Chains A and B, each alone.
Chain A
Amino acid sequence: MENKEKKDIFESIWDFLASVKLAIFVLITLALSSIIGTIVEQKAEPAQNIALLAKFFGDSAAPSVYNVFAKLGFMDMYGSWWFTSFLVIFSLNLIVCSIDRFPKTWRLIKTPQKPLSDTAIRSLPVKKELTFKAGISTVKDELLNGLKASRYHVLEASEENSIRLYTQKGKYARLAVYVVHLSIILIFIGAIIGIRFGFKGYLNLPEGSSSNVLYESPTKSIPLGFYVKCNWYETEYYEGGDTPKEFHSELVVIEDGKEVLSKVIQVNDPLTYKGITFFQSNYGMIPNAVGQVVLDVTPAGGQEKRIWLKFGDIFEIPGTGIRGRVHDFSPALTRDRATGRLTSYSDNMVNPAVAIEFIPPQGDSFVGWILKRYPETGVIPGGHSVKFADYWGVEYTGLQVSKDPGVWLIYLASIIMGISLYICFFISSKKIWVDITGDKKSVSVVVGGTTNRNRLNFENEIDRILAHVSRAIEGRSN
């Protein structure tokens, strides 16, 4: 008695988890609750969301509303216990309903198709009747040809004075929906693997420096197991404007004191070493940093030479006797329209320029601004050229660092999902039955069929096959 009751409880839980009602409820709940997290800014400073809530609830009520929302987990909603619970119920529902329904579908696939009598065929959703003035074997042959041409594998059974054909196609397409469900579960598993065994963090590397850790938060570091060094960072701009064309940095991987890998990374083109991937994410200026000016100096008709200078260092354009000294630097040089004076319009290196004081062997010294993005500004009297290559050591590259051993599973599941969704919607499972009754002179044919989707197309297909068969039979008798 007690045993039976237990079983009933189990059964009713099972039925609940397998029910369509639960699926509809979970889908609606997930959709509606997801909206909250797109309005309340996630993982933000409290002040930000209090200001946001003040727009809806007024200044005085906002802090207490915030506290209630925070208690409900709205400030980090997608990681909250209740949202996670809904995702768990969603997965359970997917798994249980698939297990619950699968045996029925499998039986449907595995049960052999049986021939049907003409009366049974007439009761099918799709049916056609035809008569021919031809022999029964001719009609049968042409029907077989017609069905084979449409890639049906036909079976036949003979009765007293009738022949019955039956065939089916695409029966395994019925499984596609289960594969779609499975792929969603695989994506969840991939995500869990990523969370459990992977990490995500960031690393800001100044030009010329290296690190063997990354940061999950300002206080929590994770060891890399090797060193990564940033040789240089650079923002490239489109000509004639300040639209960035590319952000790139040269990274070097150093393991046991040896360089093992080096790559110039850019957005959409990261560096991966030992499963850890470094993505170009952002950049910035190191506060109060003093760097070195890198110049490419070419005397008229001579060879280019790269020189590195600190402020105040003196260099010479080889063989000319012209000396120069770094006088000033601007990260973003422009001329102020109102005052006509030179000024910097940004703290970032949007339009870097260096002022060089040139000291010719004879005559007065002069100061010229050389702009990195406009190399023609570096041509000085005499045809000598001084190109401003970089102001090195003042920028850092901002890297996203991640290790995700679950991502391959996500990709695999995505491919499976794509294919099975296609099968699910566009391949139908079709069955056709034919009854041919008659003698050597006149024959009547009843054709019927079922399909699990796209009935209109299925009817057209049968019409096409029958039209083809009729033409072939007429052709024979003529």
Chain B
Amino acid sequence: MNSSVFFDISAGAYIAAMITYIIYLVIRNNTVSLIASGITIFGFVSQTTALAIRWVNSYDFWMSSHPMSGFVEALLRGAPLRNLYESLIFFVWSLILAHILIEFKYKNRSLGAFVTPIAAMALLFIDISGTSKEIQPLIPALQSNWLLFHVLLSFLGYAAFGVSFGAAAAYLIMVTESKKEIPYIIGSVIIAIFIIVLVGMGIDFMSLSSAERAELIQSHFLKASLRSASGGVATVSWIISIAFIFIVWQLGLRLKSVLGSLNLTHTMLDEIEYKSIAVGFPLFTIGGLIMGAIWANSAWGKYWTWDPKETWSLITWFVYALYLHARFVGGWRGKRVAILAIIGFVAVIFTYLGVNLVLSGLHAYGSG
């Protein structure tokens, strides 16, 4: 059985759910919000099925090349968390899981409009980054029992951070009085940059042949727009991008009245923002940093080498440690910590994608 049909169904469902949630924000009809939740849950069930099928398939795939393997070993080696594609899919799955849990706990369906777009952006990123969707043979470095736990816990942590990002963004919009407030400016610019990078990659994708698409991240990243060899194209792209940032900054505050009229309160958003970090921080510390270090030690005899991936995960950890200390002992509240939650998630994305994307362009790190 092939998992891709179920993945496609879930991707479609999440995008439909995102649109429905946004419609709900605008027309505030409860039936619409119920439909949005329904679509999300349908997508989640479909994606869970897809993950299970892919796990079974990669189990068989491992067994076919390692017929002497035991059941547990093949189960660990077959876990669908082994490359960029699979980990992003799992990120989306965790994010939607967290979203469903929060919806049930807080009996509030408006946050979906802020979380489903992150999922949709990740799905879009998977498609246009041209990353391979095939089940690939596992290279020797990845043949470790730590792989499953390291990636699993890291991505559950990332998803929790993603939720806190969504909550912090909504919080900032709700409490901002004037467009000139610095936290609002930082928040809106960051969100605009996310969208610009994604659209830029979409343009790369369309300008490339299907063979070149596999190399999009490594060799063609934003080369069709912002980093174009043609000075004209690059200049126009930069002007449009800056104009877009300006528009997001100008219009973002209009959402405030929409949010205000829903039963979302800023205390609830603040609480979701903190609680997600309270869940994400231990998961990320244990799964990301500690297990990563133990794995590195058992594979290469060095638990810490300050390589860019390690360093960026430490930077992420510093940002969230800062969040917790500023909030609990430093007396920072509200907008200032919300900005930290947003910066934290930017660091997460840079740790996962930026290190491979941007820094590998500067020098030759692998794309693993």
Contacts and interface: CB of A to CB of B under 8 A. Distances in A.
A334 interface: no
B359 A37 contact: no
Given A400-B301, A425-B281, A27 B318 contact: yes
Given A39-B359, A268-B141, A407-B303, A24 B294 contact: no
B102 interface: no
A414 B137 contact: no
B315 A34 contact: yes
B290 A78 contact: no
A268 B311 contact: no
Given A23-B325, A52-B362, 6 more contacts: A20-B325, A34-B315, A41-B362, A48-B363, A410-B293, A410-B303
A421 B300 contact: no
11 contacts: A31-B315, A39-B359, A52-B363, A244-B139, A245-B140, A268-B143, A270-B301, A404-B301, A410-B303, A411-B294, A425-B278
Nearest to A177: B328
A24 to B, nearest CB: 6
B65 to A, nearest CB: 6
B319 interface: yes
A28 B322 contact: yes
A418 B319 CA distance: 19
Contact of A246 (B140, B281, B282, B300): B140
Contact of B294 (A243, A414, A426): A414
A44 B141 CA distance: 24
B121 to A, nearest CB: 24
Contact of A418 (B286, B293, B347): B286
A52 B365 CA distance: 14
A425 B326 CA distance: 16
A369 interface: no
Contacts of A238: 65, 137
B207 interface: no
B322 A42 contact: no
Interface in B243-290: 271, 278-279, 281-282, 285-286, 290
B144 interface: yes
A402 interface: yes
Interface string B291-332: 001100111111110101001101100110110011001100
A277 B300 CA distance: 10
Contacts of A270: 298, 301
A45 B3 CA distance: 47
A168 interface: no
Contacts of B278: 425-426
B299 A267 contact: yes
A37 B306 contact: yes
A200 interface: yes
Listed from nearest, the 8 A-B pairs whose CB atoms lie closest are A402-B301, A267-B140, A38-B308, A31-B318, A421-B282, A238-B137, A27-B322, A78-B306
B304 A38 contact: no
B311 A34 contact: yes
A239 interface: yes
A280 B286 CA distance: 26
A338 to B, nearest CB: 20
B300 A281 contact: yes
A307 interface: no
B301 A401 contact: yes
Contacts of B314: 34
Contacts, number: 122
A247 interface: yes
Which of B281, B298, B303 has the most chain A CB within a 10 Å cutoff? B303
A120 to B, nearest CB: 26
Contacts of A61: none
A178 interface: no
Contact of A417 (B136, B285, B294, B359): B285
Interface string A458-473: 0000000000000000
A311 to B, nearest CB: 32
Nearest to B144: A268
A204 interface: no
Interface of A: 20-21, 23-24, 27-28, 30-31, 34-35, 37-39, 41-42, 44, 48, 52, 55, 78, 191, 200, 238-239, 241, 243-247, 266-268, 270, 277, 279-281, 400-402, 404, 407, 410-411, 414, 417-418, 421-422, 424-426, 456
B355 interface: yes
Contacts of B286: 414, 417-418, 421
Contacts of A421: 281-282, 285-286
B355 to A, nearest CB: 7
Interface residues of B, number: 45
B125 to A, nearest CB: 22
A239 B64 CA distance: 10
Nearest to A403: B301
B150 to A, nearest CB: 12
Contacts of A402: 301-302
A392 B139 CA distance: 24
A268 B308 contact: no
Contacts of B355: 38
Interface in B26-78: 65
Contacts of A200: 301-302
A219 to B, nearest CB: 21
A424 B278 CA distance: 9
B312 A38 contact: yes
A39 to B, nearest CB: 7
A35 to B, nearest CB: 7
A266 B322 contact: no
B15 to A, nearest CB: 33
Contact of B321 (A27, A55, A279, A424): A27
B290 A414 contact: yes
B363 A41 contact: yes
A281 B301 CA distance: 10
A222 B350 CA distance: 39
Interface in B125-152: 136-137, 139-141, 143-144
A267 B143 contact: yes
A37 B311 contact: yes
Contacts of A280: 140
Contacts of B319: 27, 31
B70 to A, nearest CB: 15
A201 to B, nearest CB: 10
B308 A247 contact: no
Contacts of B299: 267-268, 279
B268 to A, nearest CB: 10
A42 B310 CA distance: 14
A20 B329 CA distance: 7
A421 B286 CA distance: 9
Interface string B339-368: 000000001000000010001001100000
A20 B153 CA distance: 30
B363 A279 contact: no
Contacts of A28: 318, 322
Contacts of A31: 315, 318-319, 322, 347
Contacts of A239: 65
B283 to A, nearest CB: 9
B141 A267 contact: yes
B41 to A, nearest CB: 24
Given A267-B143, A418-B286, A245 B301 contact: no
